[in-house]
Chain A
Amino acid sequence: MDWVFLAELALNGALTGLLYSLFAIGLVLIYKASSVPNLAQAALTMLGAYVVLALSRDVGLPLWLAIMLAAVIMFGLGFGIERVALRRLAGRPIIMILMMTLGLDIFLRGTTLAIWGGTSRSIELGVSYEPLFVGDMFISRINLVGAGVAVVLFVAFMLFFRTRTGIKLRAIADDYMASWSVGISVERGVGLSWALASVVALAAGVIWGEIQGVDQALSLLLLKGLTVAVLGGLDSILGAVVAGIILGIIENVGADFLDPLVGGGSRELIVAAVLILTVMIRPHGLFGRHDIERV
């Protein structure tokens, strides 16, 4: 057993896992505020990346400005999606809400690809591809940047949830009726959580766009993001971060052991297995608090 190699796998896995967390934070924000599992998060991620590309390449804005502008666009879009599509389904059975987000996912993905096409393009953030060595371990710089963004966002949200607006959002997550009774606009709060989740999706989209190019494959993140969110407890941002690191390590180390045995491509299998095991053994995840619908 090569311990350095194992540590390198684990470290890089953890960094990749933090990128999943970045994606999962968006899911958690929406689920926390409105108990809606947003299966369209992957499409939003992809759309965010495409908007940045369109603004920087086709319009010719500098990248930082394109990202800023895209954040504003995504914020508005998230707000709009909630207003138009989700609000009318409030209180309906979960299956219809689930289908609505799936429909949105398909629609957004189809529209994005119809406008910009499916050929892979990459966003160049200007991160060097020079290998970075810590001791004997090789670390991918861009993953390090992505993990940094995830951690920064996590801290930002932790601080945000201590502000007055953040506390109101948490109040909404707790009890709609009581929120209305003290004059909190639940509708605006849920809309805000969608808007924030869309901006988080943009961040995830930009980082992933740099790593693997902007194309359809971005929507494959959904399973991993969902698994991270569920493992973390679906309504805990801290959970999403911790679960991301755990899943990243399990996936990277596990794939290294399994791939030679099954002939490659075992990552998806590991992720799906983690999802099933989590739901079966501990449906409320590591940090979740909601009462789970157990049979």
Chain B
Amino acid sequence: MFYRLSGVYHTSYASDSRIFKVPADRNLAVFFLLFGLAAPFIVPSIYLNSYMLPWLIWTAAALGLNLVTGWAGQLHLGYAAVMAVGAYSAVHAARFGVPWEFALIIGGLASSVIGSLFAFAALRVKGLYLALTTLAMQFIMDWVLHHSPTVTGGSHASLQSPTLALLGQPITSDAGFYYVAFGWCVLVTIFMLNLKRTGLGRALVAVREKDYAAAILGVNSFYYKILAFAASSFIAGVSGALLVATFFFLATPEQFSVAVSIQALAMVIVGGLGSIIGSYFGVALILLVPGVINNLVAAIAHTLGAQVNVETLAHIPNAAYGALIVIILLIEPLGLGKLYGNIREYLMVWPFDQFRK
């Protein structure tokens, strides 16, 4: 806390390109990692499974979307459709008898294939037009899910997910589900942290900033765009599959509708484009705060003895969720990650502000 940059000198490129350049950051990360591991013993299981678990899986998914939108700069309004492909392929594979480890990978690969179709749109247009194309593709996926009973599981359009089992161990306990989600989120986070430091990550950023300038520098923007879409889709597919396997237990088309795509994009933007820590914040805010506000309104109404219409109560979370997006964008268009960065930078040199670069 006290002048945390003290004693931090990088004398080689290797040390300057470490994941955590400042020990304080690393310590913080280790602390949260330990907390995450210990959570099942500390956090009551109701919070663990209804808040922390979706938060972690959605963070992994948001990181995947951040890869394609934040890093490679390609607008994507059809992310939920890609997640749906992964979820349904994995569940079907598992129901067919494929072990879950492989089923998840099959889900991821299937998503990659479909996700790369989105990339072909990105090869032709960008910006608003790409957003509209991906949105249209999302609508088509919605339609396919609603109109193909063989995929979505008959007339009720719901597909029971078989019990998750990894390494031969069936997972049924709350803590077990939580650890699966936690492990996946950590894995994706480490991937993203490292991506930043590789040539691939830099190439993606180059494509985002100006694709033809990148092309002049010898960065094959077609190749990197497809790669970005494929990698992000893989993450989406596995996240979607895990969401069904550990949280919903039942796959329905509504879980992957247009609204969910918009929600995923909101998580990324509210969190901050290209910011990893921001994705954690963004998901927490979008996923959890509307519910909290709803409870708050209900509680206040209760204490005041006022009757709140059930319908009103049902729509307040939506209004709050929209308001959150608007407010965050007005306060800081670069999202919560940027706000965190400002605070971090301030604390980094506190109390010697004059050393700030």
Contact = CB atoms under 8 A, between A and B. Distances in A.
Interface stretch (B98-106, B176-184, B265-273): B265-273
Contacts of A158: none
Contacts of A106: 262, 318-319, 321-322, 325
Interface string B211-242: 10000000001000000000000000000000
Contacts of A105: 322
Contact of B312 (A89, A98, A114): A114
Given A92-B333, A109-B318, A295-B123, A117 B143 contact: no
Contacts of B124: 279-280, 294-295
A214 interface: no
Interface in A223-279: 223, 226-227, 230, 262-263, 265, 268-269, 271-273, 275-276, 279
A276 B137 contact: yes
Nearest to A223: B139
A272 B125 contact: no
Given A98-B75, A117-B312, A293 B125 contact: yes
A132 interface: no
Contacts of A111: 315, 319, 322
Contacts of A115: 312
A48 interface: no
A96 interface: yes
Interface string A53-90: 00000000000000000000000000000001100110
Contacts of A151: none
Nearest to B318: A110
A113 interface: yes
Contact of A268 (B127, B139, B324): B139
A144 interface: no
- The winner among A99, A104, A292 for most chain B CB atoms within 10 A is A99
Contacts of B136: 223, 227, 272-273, 275-276, 279
A96 B128 CA distance: 11
Interface residues of B, number: 48
B326 A85 contact: yes
Contacts of B75: 94-95, 98
Nearest to B144: A269
B132 A104 contact: no
B330 A88 contact: yes
B316 A110 contact: yes
Contacts of A283: 125, 129
Contacts of B262: 102, 106
Contacts of A98: 75, 128, 131
A276 B322 contact: no
Interface string B105-129: 0000000000000000111111111
B146 interface: yes
A99 B318 contact: no
B329 interface: yes
A250 to B, nearest CB: 15
A100 B329 CA distance: 7
Nearest to A92: B333
A272 B321 contact: no
- The winner among B312, B320, B322 for most chain A CB atoms within 10 A is B322
B323 A107 contact: yes
Given A269-B143, A279-B129, A293-B127, A107 B315 contact: no
Contacts of B127: 94, 293
17 contacts: A37-B132, A98-B75, A102-B325, A103-B329, A104-B326, A106-B321, A110-B321, A113-B311, A114-B312, A119-B311, A271-B139, A272-B137, A276-B136, A279-B136, A292-B125, A294-B125, A295-B125
Interface of B: 69, 75, 121-129, 131-133, 135-137, 139-140, 142-143, 146-147, 211, 221, 262, 265-266, 269, 273, 309, 311-312, 315-326, 329-330, 333
Interface of A: 37, 84-85, 88-89, 92, 94-96, 98-100, 102-111, 113-115, 117-119, 223, 226-227, 230, 262-263, 265, 268-269, 271-273, 275-276, 279-280, 283, 292-295
Q: Which 9 A-B residue pairs are closest in the complex by CB-CB distance?
A: A107-B322, A103-B325, A110-B319, A110-B318, A106-B322, A114-B315, A113-B315, A272-B136, A275-B136
